[in-house]
Structure 1
Amino acid sequence: MYQDLHQLIRYTRINEIVGDVIRLRARDVALGDMAVVENTNGEQSLARVIGLQRDVASLQVFAGGKGLSTDATVQFLGRPLDVVYSPNILGRIFRGSGEPMDGGPDLSGDPHVKVAGPTVNPVKRVMPSKMIETRVPMIDLFNCLVESQKIPIFSIAGEPHSELLARIGFQADADVLVFGGLGLIFDDYHFFRTAFEEHGVFARTVMFVNQASDPLVERLLVPDMVLAVAEKFAVEENKRVLVLLTDMTAYADAMKEIGVAQERIPAVRGYMGDLYTQLAQRYEKACDFKGAGSVTILTVTTMPGDDVTHPVPDNTGYITEGQFYLHGGVIDPFGSLSRLKQHVIGKSTREDHSQIMNTMIRFYSEATEAQRKQAMAFELSPFDHKLLKFGNLFRKRFMDIRVSMGVIEALDLCWQTLAECFETQELLMKQNLVDKYFPQQPSQTGKDL
């Protein structure tokens, strides 16, 4: 199964087996090195060094520790994990171990690239200035996704975050899509694969999938593999790469379980003290490379109990440049934020974008207040009724994540919606923009709402 093992030192005694972690005395071993563990029955599995304490090495066994004997042999390969990289990987699906899982041709002879390398030198980074159009109005209009940005979707169990992530994937203006699934149930894996195939983007997509039944250690390797491949496409092929990862909370939980197996002292809520560092090392791979392509990272981070102070979303918020907050089946305009949108609004987009964005959110905020007044049976003014009509139209036309339209089309629809609900003097917008874009004869499509 693994070649050239006769040239390596064989360790024939395992000191301890705790779950999927084994410990043994070894020399000349580095953190992250790969090894082959051969059980007494001849079965072999890859393992990875996850801890060193003096001359004792801790290894996470990919196939798990069940049935493993202390008399098994361990041979270190003297190198860290690598992953195949060539044009042949487009349209392919790989396990968390890096092995193909789609029944396609063997790629072991293709070039490989090391994973988990350092982040890019800041002098080689370009200031973000290009928008990635997703055709999701709540993103493109109000919290633009900017090329080389790192941003999560904050969600809870039961919210359609998988649908939103897949929709952004097959609608986004990107050259290559690299998907990483972390602890996915089979239904979710099948959903993403089917969505990419049906919408014609699978041929420019690479998928690395760790299912819930797969070894835990592979869950920790998927983000590194995804980012190593994405960086290669960006640097060597000059591609605009969009990375999709779901779910980073599952990734953090896997780190917690391994930390417990290593008998490390936890910090907050059982998570290890290096949670921030581990997350940052992955998110900081997002980059617009000078003279090359770019890597943009979009992830899903579920919040247990809808608690934004949970260690995973809390640490994530300090690393990333905002978040898309999925709440009630829609992207919440008040909880969402893109800190880089000012780099593209009105520059990569139309001149009225900034004014439209601010006006629409202002009126929607007032509409939610009018709804509260209505719910509490307060008397409503004529302007309150206008706000209620606007709120209904806003939710229907823009907030539904199934709505798909380009930026220009969405801006025009914003003006149309304003014209159906308000008079020009009520807009409080720049007059030159009102004169240029406000419809002279507004449609009555929202009259029945």
Structure 2
Amino acid sequence: MLQKTYENIDSIGRAILTIKAQGVHNKELAEVIYPNGQKAFAQVIALNGDQVTLQLFGGGFGVSTDCKIRFLGKPIQVGFSDDMLGRVYSGNGQPIDGGPELLSDRVRVAGPSINPVKRLIPKDMIRTGVPMIDVFNTLVRSQKIPIFAKAGEPYNRLLANIATQTDADVIIIGGVGLKYDEYHYFRQRIEEAGSKNKTIMFIHTHRDSIVEGLMVPDLALAVAEQFALQGKNVFVLLSDMTQWSDYLRQVANAQDQIPANQGYPGDLYSQLASRYEKAADIEGAGSLTILGVTTMDDVTHPVPDNTGYITEGQFFMKDGYLELFGSLSRLKQQVNDRTRPDHRSIMNAMARLLSEAEERVKAQKFGSVKDDYSLRLLAYRQTFQRELMDPFRYLELEDALDLCWDILAQHFKKEEVGLSSTMMEEYWPKKGEYKVLKVLADE
């Protein structure tokens, strides 16, 4: 179908332009035709009568009022095929790994979420190889959960490790505003680990157009949905959703929208939710799980504040470690009673003893910690941090649970940990009991 071409652009901003046109639909794709014949793409983001506002994928640089606009009568689409596995794409869906462009099946980007009646109750664990996740805040298929971290924390390194250690069928990484060395680390880590053949990357660097950055989560999730509908368990890793929200704010401000909290658009919650709600365990098919990074100074910032209402818990990263207190997987109870019989019990016992140890840390400042039990709690805290809180130490769940028992036996007597005699008989390390009693005798 021949599409009408419009001229006489009304205004041009950093990443948007406005023009008068008729018969145009929201989210429709358009071509920007330069006087020299070159073409670029744009997307309709707002309609006000015959006034049409478009986002420019390449930014406003080089666009002039004598450019022409041709509306294509279709939404943004991305190619989809098993051939995408192992490939790297930009924020506009074009390959940046030197491989051919994908011209086969095309799927709509930013379409509606999976019908709720087709969603199953989350019931299966996703293994990440990270003890602080697998043991204490187990991740569940179809869960949506963020990592809250200050800028500068090694969250991208953690995402890269999870991408190579998870048991998901397909990994899709969406990078927004990445530095080049971060992008290079993702590629290198995945290739070295041999995970390339099940990984797809959509990468936007800080030098690329902000509109391409805005497209990254939508491209990643559109492709992820198609793999999930094929019956695969798909894990989408997004970084950084705060940067993505900042791009959203820039575009909203360029449109002269009335700003809300800290200048973010009033529909920030809806914008975030429309992406996170793509997570689903689909009846008769596969699943889509989302782990996104949200950088922040504190949780009252609009992005983590809104994210917390949408997602099913959060992981807190501080000083390079995943924190136990402050992190929460609201779905872990769905699975950690079926992983291994001792999982839930050992998880609760370790957390309770760590909480006691934190109280001793506060008391120690006043010099009131001198008894044997308190000193062993403080030693336990150090061992816990060293052996379990390092997010870059790989351990299978069963090995991590065994390590938990070893740590308890190293610092406590059986009657001090609050676990059943039946559980003790099966899992308490025999050599560990002798070691602890010997240490106490020496003291």
Task: Give the TM-score range, shorter chain.
Answer: over 0.9
1:342 aligned partner? 333
Query: TM-score by structure 1 length?
Result: 0.95
Note if 1:267 corresponds to 2:243.
Answer: no
Note if 1:413 corresponds to 2:406.
Answer: no
1:425 aligned partner? 415
Superposed, 1:373-388 pairs within 5 Å as 373-388=363-378
Give 1:42 deviation, angstroms. Answer: 2.5
Note the alpha carbon deviations across 1:229-288, whole angstroms, 9 max, x for none. Answer: 00100102x111000000000111111000011110011110011000011011010000
Note if 1:322 corresponds to 2:313.
Answer: yes
Note the alpha carbon deviations across 1:120-139, whole angstroms, 9 max, x for none. Answer: 11111111010001110000
2:232 aligned partner? 239
- Give the counterpart of 1:139 among 121, 133, 138: 133
Amino acid corresponding to residue 173 of structure 1 in structure 2: D
Distance 1:24 1:379 in 2: 72
Total equivalences in the alignment: 438
Note if 1:204 corresponds to 2:198.
Answer: yes
Distance 1:79 1:233 in 2: 23
Distance 1:233 1:318 in 2: 27
1:125 aligned partner? 119
1:170 aligned partner? 164
1:10 aligned partner? 5
Distance 1:244 1:67 in 2: 34
Distance 2:282 2:250 in 1: 35
Residues 62, 215 of structure 1: 8 Å contact kept: yes
Distance 1:145 1:394 in 2: 21
- Give the counterpart of 1:333 among 310, 324, 327: 324
SS of residue paired to 1:117: coil
Give 1:376 deviation, angstroms. Answer: 2.9
Amino acid corresponding to residue 326 of structure 2 in structure 1: G
2:14 aligned partner? 19
Note the alpha carbon deviations across 1:22-66, whole angstroms, 9 max, x for none. Answer: 100001111111111112232211111111111000111112212
Give 1:181 deviation, angstroms. Answer: 0.6
Distance 1:83 1:330 in 2: 37
Note if 1:307 corresponds to 2:307.
Answer: no
Distance 1:20 1:142 in 2: 44
49-58 or 64-73: which moved more? Answer: 64-73
SS of residue paired to 2:168: coil
Note if 1:282 corresponds to 2:275.
Answer: yes
Distance 2:269 2:404 in 1: 39
Distance 1:65 1:439 in 2: 66
Give 1:440 deviation, angstroms. Answer: 1.8
66-75 or 329-338: which moved more? Answer: 66-75
Note the alpha carbon deviations across 1:344-394, whole angstroms, 9 max, x for none. Answer: 0121x1111111011101111111222222233224211011101111110
Superposed, 1:95-134 pairs within 5 Å as 95-108=90-103, 110-134=104-128
195-204 or 63-72: which moved more? Answer: 63-72
Amino acid corresponding to residue 14 of structure 1 in structure 2: I
Structure 1 unaligned blocks of 5 or more: none
Distance 2:259 2:304 in 1: 17
Residues 232, 287 of structure 2: 8 Å contact kept: yes
SS of residue paired to 1:249: helix
Query: TM-score by structure 2 length?
Result: 0.96
SS of residue paired to 1:94: strand
Superposed CA RMSD in Å reads: 1.5
Residues 154, 302 of structure 1: 8 Å contact kept: yes
Give 1:444 deviation, angstroms. Answer: 5.3
Give 1:193 deviation, angstroms. Answer: 1.0
Residues 373, 380 of structure 1: 8 Å contact kept: no
Note if 1:44 corresponds to 2:34.
Answer: no
Distance 1:12 1:89 in 2: 37
214-223 or 374-383: which moved more? Answer: 374-383
Amino acid corresponding to residue 323 of structure 2 in structure 1: D
Distance 1:384 1:20 in 2: 60
Superposed, 1:45-124 pairs within 5 Å as 45-108=40-103, 110-124=104-118
Distance 2:124 2:39 in 1: 48
Q: Name the % identity.
A: 49
Structure 2 unaligned blocks of 5 or more: none
SS of residue paired to 2:139: coil
Runs of 4+ in 1 over 6 A off after TM superposition: none
Amino acid corresponding to residue 233 of structure 2 in structure 1: R
Distance 2:139 2:198 in 1: 20
Note the alpha carbon deviations across 1:379-436, whole angstroms, 9 max, x for none. Answer: 4211011101111110111001121111111111111111111111111112211121
SS of residue paired to 1:127: coil
1:221 aligned partner? 215
SS of residue paired to 1:301: strand
Amino acid corresponding to residue 428 of structure 2 in structure 1: F
SS of residue paired to 1:35: strand
Distance 2:392 2:211 in 1: 35
Note the alpha carbon deviations across 1:290-315, whole angstroms, 9 max, x for none. Answer: 01110000010000xx2101000000
2:182 aligned partner? 188
Amino acid corresponding to residue 74 of structure 2 in structure 1: R
Distance 1:340 1:92 in 2: 32
SS of residue paired to 1:269: helix
SS of residue paired to 1:441: helix
Residues 369, 375 of structure 2: 8 Å contact kept: no
Distance 1:49 1:140 in 2: 43
